Amino acid sequence: MRGLFSLDGTQIKYSFRRTKSYQIGDPEEKVRADTIAFLVLSKGYDSRKIDTEVEGSHNDFADIVLYEDDRCTKPWLVVENKKEGATPAEKAEGEVQAFANGIALGAKYSMKDYGDESCVWQLEGFGARERRRNKLGDRELLPRNYSQDMVYPFHAGTEMDIKPASAFDISIAIRRAHSIIWAGGKRDPLSAFDEWSKLMFAKVRDERYTRNGHPRSFQAGINEPDSAIATRVHKLFSDAKEQDQAIFPRDEKIELPDSKVAQVVRVIQEISFIDTDSDVIGTAFEDFFGSVFRGSLGQYFTMRQIARFTVGMLNPTSEDYVLDPTCGSGGFLLETLLQVWNDTDAGFAGQGNLARIKSDFAAQNVYGIEIHPTLARICKISLLLHHDGHTNIEADKSCLSPNLSKPKLQKDRQFDLIVGNPPFGTKVADGDEDQLDGASLDDYVLGRGKHSIQSEQIILEKSVSWLKPGGRLGMVLPDGVLNNSGSQSNCPALREWLFKSGRILSVISLPDFAFRRSGATNKTSILIFEKFSDLESARLNNRLEACEGDIAAALMDSGLDYNIFFGEASHIGYTPSGRPDPRNDLYVADENGYLSNDQTGSILGEWNVWEENGAVSDPRCVVERASSVWRSHSSHRVDPKYHVYVAHKGDYVPQGWSSAPMMNLVKRMRRNVDFGEEPMKEYKVLTLSQTGVARLREPGVGNNPPEWRGMYFYDSSSDWFEVRTSDIVYSGIDLWKGVVCFVTEEFDHALVTQEYPILRVKDPNVIDPEFLSILLRSRRFQKAFRAINTGHSNRRRTQSSDFGKVLVYYPPIEKQKEIALKVRNARENIAKAYIGVSDIENELDAILHADDEWDETTES
């Protein structure tokens, strides 16, 4: 072949600077011959600068070495060949050899060529372990005849184009990219996210509009200056803004220095986000968002498991119009897209309009509102990467604003489904322009006549107004909305409004830690609600008037009474720290983490079975008639933990034990003290620990007075009561944490405030007070107290009326005293052990003369 080599029987003879012969029957030799022909004939290299079997690394020999000088002393390219059809192990070995020999010989490039695949790397200017940033592509991208022209690895529509990636690889890449932008805290997290969104916007533009055969613009050429890379990215961003004005205003610019832009490009350039499956994108971005949206940013992110379950309960279809009124980073909307697309794939498989149905749903049926403009852009970019749905996000406006720009958001009764997790714990004040934008609280039933209202309450009312008659809502709410009894909280009024406005189809309790990762301690539940039709509302209102406002009677008389499905989840697919947990009461996941077709054993599965045939068998779930729920408690509470407890509280009585309501066993004591009689008398003040041990409050500590004398209590704003030996004292706020104790003689006549109710056993021959205090600290009863307490913060109150209805179960009195004695002895042993440890430490200090050398009271 043009004098490059000749065949002589079984030998192939190469005519280079030195003539060399090898066995032509060796499959690898055929590949080497092809590589040499390629270098000389296709790339224009001088055959006199080629050598074979050159010693490289650790007695290994490079198959081909191309030199750049006539004396063949400066290696330019090292090639490793393997036969066509080589095994994966042989191919991996070849790559290692190509790098090892190239580095040992000091070559600028290395190449593997196996006949059926090839790849070129630049070695010069990169570390010995680098394999990714210096990858040019297949052998066609090798510079021609030592050319210094810029080489770009990725060309659209070719074998060396960008490729889809796994969720893990995408997660790692976008974490690295965000870390580069964040710069260790130099930029605040949301600003860093905004810049990240701009670069992703530019990348999507490049992925969609680069012509086949042309190099991608969102990539870094080998040794290309940062300024050149950044210039192309700025142009991509500018072109993207002109073509799609729904995300960034025209005057928005990338605010990163060229070096940062180039760094991010090198990290994510080889990933095709457009061609990566939406489920994979969703998994990667959930992991990414979950790691960044912590602390104060946690309000913008809902864990995917909660969004997935909520949307699954609503079971959306491609015909539904869906709104998230406080969409944050877009988790609920993304989950809606994924579930509708999965449903569409199943329902329209094989039909030519399948893709059109999915794209139409994303573009026309999915809406969101986000008041934070930066976060709204992040949401839009996330939707864009999930193959669209971003154009219907209303940015920089509160969902309470009457001045929304999207026509569908300007009218009530427009949506089939509403989903979300509104911010709670903040108030909306009348006249708040940021939130109300000219509207008034008087425009809302729940806000009428009020100066302020909790944000979740007014957002819930606004959301229901957007529902079509018969439309459904799935929303995460604080438990206080469902169980607070104080009229000042407005929660009883909200529950009454809910009962009058539609059907509370289901309420599912989430564990305390559901939002702990984001820094929130609120106890929450998921409300599934269906709006009444106009005819149903008219029927109920007519009966309400006839029944003098009795909602339960009106529901039954109007024929509108219905069942409410309550569920209580203890495990939700992640731990309190946010780590994955295989246990998930909410739903059964398939191998990819999405909703399995078989939901047996989950709350979602029980819901599906109940909807189909009305049967409920899972002890985590109960079904009650709405009229019964309304009448079951004076505050009309609808929190699941309460109703699940009431339904099952008699199921746990051990064999041979008795049971009775708390009110039948104890009475509350209120022993008042006349502090005016002896103002100088010194008193003991009792406090409780979560271990069930009483101790005295020290005077002079914190806000405590210097002495606990009668004059202090006389002027106190709190009510104080006296305890006696054998009383039981508990914390009205922290009873659910086990804060309850038995009063021993040491604390006889000590004082407590009204926040610590005092109990006295009615008949010590029926139940031993010390045993009862131990029983009330058990996990079973702590769960019962969690079920009956009210509120959603970490300070949840146990109402006396609910406490009195708790079912207590207890063994014969002899067994009670035996258990109490064991606990008492164990506590005494613990106290002795602490004293013993202290004595040993004091002895050691004495031996070491520690007191002579250091005094903590005089330490400077």
Banded model confidence at residue 293, pLDDT cuts 50, 70, 90: low
d(CA 736, CA 759): 17
Answer for the pair 31, 52: CB distance below 8 angstroms, yes or no. Answer: no
Q: What is the pLDDT of residue 361?
A: 92
* Helix or strand run (H / E) with residue 202: helix 189-209
Answer for the pair 657, 811: CB distance below 8 angstroms, yes or no. Answer: yes
Q: What is the pLDDT of residue 3?
A: 55
Residue 666 has pLDDT above 70, yes or no: yes
Stated pTM of the model? 0.79
371-375, 642-646, 838-842: range with lowest mean pLDDT? 371-375
Which residue, among 820, 666, 851, 694, has the nearest Cα to 758 in the 3D structure? 666
More confident residue, 805 or 15: 805
End-to-end CA distance of the chain: 90
Q: What is the pLDDT of residue 179?
A: 87
Residue 5 has pLDDT above 50, yes or no: yes
d(CA 832, CA 193): 57
48-52, 398-402, 526-530, 568-572: range with lowest mean pLDDT? 48-52
31-40, 128-137, 628-637, 661-670: range with lowest mean pLDDT? 128-137
Mean pLDDT of 126-134: 85
Banded model confidence at residue 281, pLDDT cuts 50, 70, 90: confident
Strand intervals (E) in 45-131: 50-55, 61-67, 75-81, 109-113, 118-122
Question: Which residues sit opposite 696 in a β-bridge?
Answer: 686
d(CA 193, CA 181): 8
Answer for the pair 283, 594: CB distance below 8 angstroms, yes or no. Answer: no
Mean pLDDT of 37-48: 85
CATH level 2 (architecture), domain 658-810? Alpha-Beta Complex (3.90)
Q: What is the pLDDT of residue 857?
A: 47
201-215, 266-280, 392-406: range with lowest mean pLDDT? 266-280
Query: Highest mean pLDDT range out of 293-302, 353-362, 516-525, 817-826?
Result: 817-826
398-402, 481-485, 518-522: range with lowest mean pLDDT? 518-522
Banded model confidence at residue 860, pLDDT cuts 50, 70, 90: very low
Mean pLDDT of 406-422: 95
Banded model confidence at residue 154, pLDDT cuts 50, 70, 90: very high
d(CA 421, CA 328): 9
Banded model confidence at residue 9, pLDDT cuts 50, 70, 90: confident
Q: How far is CA 514 from CA 285, 477, 575, in A?
A: 19, 12, 8
pLDDT digits (tens, 9 = 90+) for 510-567: 999 998 877 777 899 999 999 999 999 999 999 999 999 999 999 999 999 999 999 9
CB under 8 Å to 241, separation ≥6 — which residues?
201, 247, 248, 249, 250, 252
State CA 789 to chain mean position distance.
Answer: 27
Residue 300 has pLDDT above 60, yes or no: no
Banded model confidence at residue 246, pLDDT cuts 50, 70, 90: confident
Mean pLDDT of 462-485: 96
Tokens of 700: 């002079």
Q: What is the pLDDT of residue 793?
A: 67
CB under 8 Å to 400, separation ≥6 — which residues?
428, 435, 436, 437, 439, 458, 459, 462
Residue 850 has pLDDT above 80, yes or no: no
The crossing angle, in degrees rounded to 10, of helices 373-385 and 278-292 is 150
The crossing angle, in degrees rounded to 10, of helices 226-243 and 258-268 is 80
Q: What is the pLDDT of residue 621?
A: 96
Residue 296 has pLDDT above 60, yes or no: no
* CATH class of the domain whose range is 281-531+562-648: alpha beta
Mean pLDDT of the chain: 90
CATH level 2 (architecture), domain 5-146? Alpha-Beta Complex (3.90)
Q: What is the pLDDT of residue 769?
A: 97
More confident residue, 306 or 189: 306
Residue 858 has pLDDT above 50, yes or no: no
Domains of the chain by residue range: 5-146, 167-248+255-276, 281-531+562-648, 658-810, 814-860
Mean pLDDT of 492-503: 97
Query: How many other β-carbons are positioned within 10 Å of the β-carbon of residue 609?
Result: 17
Answer for the pair 781, 773: CB distance below 8 angstroms, yes or no. Answer: no
d(CA 447, CA 428): 10
Banded model confidence at residue 784, pLDDT cuts 50, 70, 90: very high
Residue 297 has pLDDT above 60, yes or no: no
Which residue, among 134, 120, 95, has the nearest Cα to 224 in the 3D structure? 134
Q: What is the pLDDT of residue 859?
A: 44
Following DSSP, what letter does each residue of 455-515 receive, concatenated? HHHHHHHHHHHHEEEEEEEEEEEEHHHHH---GGGTHHHHHHHHHHHEEEEEEEEPPGGGG
Mean pLDDT of 101-128: 92
Q: What's at 375, amino acid-wise? A: L
Q: What's at 526, amino acid-wise? A: I
